[in-house]
A and B are shown apart, each in its own frame.
Chain A
Amino acid sequence: KQEVTQIPAALSVPEGENLVLNCSFTDSAIYNLQWFRQDPGKGLTSLLLIQSSQREQTSGRLNASLDKSSGRSTLYIAASQPGDSATYLCAVRGGANNLFFGTGTRLTVIP
């Protein structure tokens, strides 16, 4: 069964810093990988979707990379802002229906 791990579990950085969130998965046979943002008590907002054939995706200050063979993905956030504070979840799709979520990284950006 696919297992998705995110490190660190929590991260606190001063405003303006660049940061990297890590995601690893045990089964490299995936269709795609998605990064989400979740604010407290809210649903999920999709940030980036990387297909298994792609190496990276960029959206604004966010850049996500995928190394399928090693079972790793990183989410890079440039010039962090207090509004970036949230929990970030990565999820991998291993089949037609199964989306496996990581446990998340809780990010706090200090003004």
Chain B
Amino acid sequence: GAVVSQHPSWVICKSGTSVKIECRSLDFQATTMFWYRQFPKQSLMLMATSNEGSKATYEQGVEKDKFLINHASLTLSTLTVTSAHPEDSSFYICSARPGTVGLDEQYFGPGTRLTVT
């Protein structure tokens, strides 16, 4: 149980284009979903937190107009990287939590490797 999937697993796009990454909780309802970014040999950095049906909360330094997050249902959140640039190339990992209480465990997706050429 508690499986989180991401699609696509990897994507290559040209500079200036937009790319959408999906995150799905397969066997539970995720009240809260998180998006992380991980650069090579670095740890995960939280980008934003989204609750179903409401606007995402972005961490300091993350451009909300560039990284559009939609959490339209209890099992799906999407991250759209708009007007992508080579510096956006990274490993993007989503995470989902079943409840709203802070003690619930977070379950992580397998990640999406984005390369912007």
Contact = CB atoms under 8 A, between A and B. Distances in A.
Nearest to B2: A46
Q: Which of B43, B45, B101 is the most central at the interface, judged by chain A CB atoms within 10 Å of its CB?
A: B43
A41 B114 CA distance: 12
B78 to A, nearest CB: 17
A42 interface: yes
A51 B103 contact: yes
Interface in B38-94: 42-46, 49, 57, 91, 93
A99 B108 CA distance: 12
B44 A31 contact: no
Contacts of B98: none
Contact of B105 (A46, A89, A102, A103): A46
Interface residues of A, number: 24
B73 to A, nearest CB: 19
A4 B55 CA distance: 28
A60 interface: no
Grouping DSSP codes into helix (H, G, I), strand (E, B) and loop, the A interface class, with mixed when no group exceeds half, is strand
Contacts, number: 51
Nearest to B108: A44
B25 interface: no
B46 A98 contact: yes
Interface string A64-103: 0000000000000000000000000101010111110111
Given A44-B44, A96-B100, 18 more contacts: A31-B102, A31-B103, A42-B110, A43-B6, A43-B111, A44-B93, A46-B105, A89-B43, A93-B102, A95-B102, A96-B102, A97-B102, A99-B34, A99-B95, A99-B106, A101-B43, A103-B43, A104-B43
Interface of A: 31-32, 34, 36, 41-46, 49, 51, 89, 91, 93, 95-99, 101-104
Interface of B: 6, 32, 34, 42-46, 49, 57, 91, 93, 95, 100-103, 105-111, 113
